[in-house]
Structure 1
């Protein structure tokens, strides 16, 4: 088994909280373009095409396909996204988020948070950034 095989059976969960789309990727260690397409389709189905703030709980993510970066910068995805909060505290997630923004920074702000509540407050307009949180992109 490779590191990409871990968590292969986990399924993402989606919910909408206070007009914020929350993708819970708990148990998912690898992000593929197909998974991102599925998340986007779920989001549009659940919340419509109007621009939304998105929270991604990604504490178990270890690897990301390069195509995910390109997909997240797609004009349709960008037009329907106002901000993204990535939630998790691993070094790997920090590295992956930083790499994404270095090569394919989207037009919307992206921040990495260690705590769910801080991320949701930022997306709601409270803009907290504690010492545990990292601003990895803010356009």
Structure 2
């Protein structure tokens, strides 16, 4: 009986997660994606909720010292709160994020993100892209420490230095 109640609770939780418009995923290149749908203001509650989902749904499968590049996609954003911008520089985010990209869907969003970059000076590499594909390609450069066979083990990169 307890197992059945647990399954029902998890099912309801997954429905609630889908209804709130906050989607957190990890793509094949280990790029973390926060997609906010139906929200006009990026505030600290949205950021904290997305980050908490990342920690509870994704990060548990990796070691504590592994960092992920982050892509934020928010099609209907009209404003960014100071708290959300500050959260991107929090110890929690710095400990888990290796790079950060944003894909604006309008000129207004592009200006908001440029202001964020100017005033908050993110503590990791940051860029603005006009396509999700280009953002993911750039961010994948910051996720090459993962071994495709075992996500818990970082890959040691050895480069050959050839003399010309």
When normalised by structure 1's length, the TM-score is 0.77
1:102 to 118, 123, 130: 118
Q: CA deviation at 1:51?
A: 1.0
Structure with the larger helix share: 2
Q: Secondary structure at the match of 2:94?
A: helix
Instruction: Name the counterpart of 2:25.
Output: 15
Instruction: Name the counterpart of 1:47.
Output: 58
* Off by >6 Å, runs of 4+ in structure 1: none
Offset from partner CA, 1:37-85 (integer Å, 9 cap, x none):
1011011122214311111112211111111111111122112100111
Structure number with greater Rg is 2
Instruction: Name the counterpart of 2:146.
Output: none
* 1:119 paired to 2:151: no
Structure 1, unaligned runs of 5 or more: 1-8, 127-139
Q: CA deviation at 1:112?
A: 1.1
When normalised by structure 2's length, the TM-score is 0.66
* 1:66 paired to 2:82: yes
Q: CA deviation at 1:105?
A: 1.3
Alpha-carbon separation, structure 2, partners of 1:26 and 1:92: 17
RMSD, aligned α-carbons: 1.8
Q: Secondary structure at the match of 2:39?
A: coil
Q: Secondary structure at the match of 1:43?
A: helix
1:76 to 89, 92, 111: 92
Structure with the larger strand share: 1
